[in-house]
Amino acid sequence: MLRLYDYYDSGNGYKVRLLLAQLGIPYEYVEKDIVQGETRTPEFLKLNPNGRIPVVVLEDGTPLAESNAILFYFAESTPYLPADKLGRARALQWLFFEQYSHEPYVAVARFLLRHTEPDDPRRSMLEQRQKGGYAALGVMERHLAENPFLVGGRYSIADIALYAYTHVADQGGFELSSYPCVRAWLARVEAQPGYVRMLLQRPSS
């Protein structure tokens, strides 16, 4: 059976859990506590030399890392990835936007507020992270004002990737009242068949 190395509170891990649920693919869930450094052990580094979750280990033992690469792998030849070349590239455009211009701001702001103490020196970057996050949300708002989903008029892994941290942006101190098109899109994602919620506490073992 497929194995997923993940951390319950990770939006990057949640992307994979959401797609696998929608595809009906079962998997074994293996918790790694990133806050406690459990992804930096020699054993874990054999799965992903970059020391990050999520990692999937395929049936034959092959590991695959990077949440958005994992999404692409499982979505190929399914309705969750456009069938045409330009559509695939457009989905990738949004996936790279997510990892470069959205996650480092929206997810990092959320991490700071959830996993550091108020006097942690890392908190000094919170304002700059929120500023970048609002810029990313603005890009999404303008696009979603004219499109029901991010690519090709239908739900795809581009929506999954951006939904993961956007729908918990409030936990990073973001206020979405000025982003009505983003909020309407969040509701459209949540109405998709097979939708599952993000874990917000550690699953009982």
Number of neighbouring beta carbons within 10 Å of residue 10? 23
CB-nearer residue toward its own copies: 103 or 159: 103
Q: Is the torsion defined by CA of 108, 109, 113, 114 positive or negative?
A: negative
Interior/surface letters 124-152, b for 16+ CB within 10 angstroms, e for the rest: eebeebbebbbebbeebbebbeeeebbbb
CB of residue 203 to its own copies, shortest distance in Å: 26
CB of residue 22 to its own copies, shortest distance in Å: 18
Q: Is 155 within 8 Å of 149 (Cβ atoms)?
A: yes
CB-nearer residue toward its own copies: 126 or 192: 126
CB-nearer residue toward its own copies: 125 or 176: 125
CB-nearer residue toward its own copies: 85 or 187: 85
Which uninterrupted H or E stretch holds 30? strand 27-31
Interior/surface letters 70-100, b for 16+ CB within 10 angstroms, e for the rest: bbbebbeeeebbbeeeebbebbbebbebbee
Residues within the interface to its own copies (CB under 8 A) = 49-50, 58, 62, 64-70, 72-73, 76, 85-86, 88-90, 92-93, 95-97, 99-101, 103-104, 139, 142-143
CB-nearer residue toward its own copies: 41 or 50: 50
CB of residue 162 to its own copies, shortest distance in Å: 13
Number of neighbouring beta carbons within 10 Å of residue 41? 11
C-alpha 104/C-alpha 98 separation (Å) is: 9
CB of residue 190 to its own copies, shortest distance in Å: 24
CB of residue 94 to its own copies, shortest distance in Å: 8
